[in-house]
Amino acid sequence: MKITIIGSGCPTCEALYKKVRDLKEAGRIDAEIEYLKDVGELVKRGIMGSPALLIDEKPVYIGMPESDDKLLEIIRQYSK
């Protein structure tokens, strides 16, 4: 599974990237993680908000989930 976070590099984007990385380091997910700080990528993909969470190139969530458990739930739901 490949998880991509796309954003501008703002604090919220950085926080989402850190949360995903922390889940991987804790062994709760097995994924390749990529962080793109290029708003042009959002526009190119037709995404109108940030940060964007993509799983295997598919946008699955825009913004910051309210908890780590919610983030993990989203990742597990779309990684199947």
Q: Is the pLDDT of residue 80 over 90?
A: no
pLDDT in tens, 11-52: 999 999 999 999 999 999 999 999 999 999 999 999 999 999
Please tell me the total count of domains within the chain: 1
- pTM exceeding 0.85: yes
pLDDT in tens, 50-76: 999 999 999 999 999 999 999 999 999
CATH number at residue 45: 3.40.30.10
Residue 73: domain span: 2-78
**Location of structure tokens 């799983």:** 55
**Better pLDDT: 55 or 78:** 55
pLDDT of residue 67: 94
CB within 8 A of 8, min separation 6: which ones?
37, 39, 50
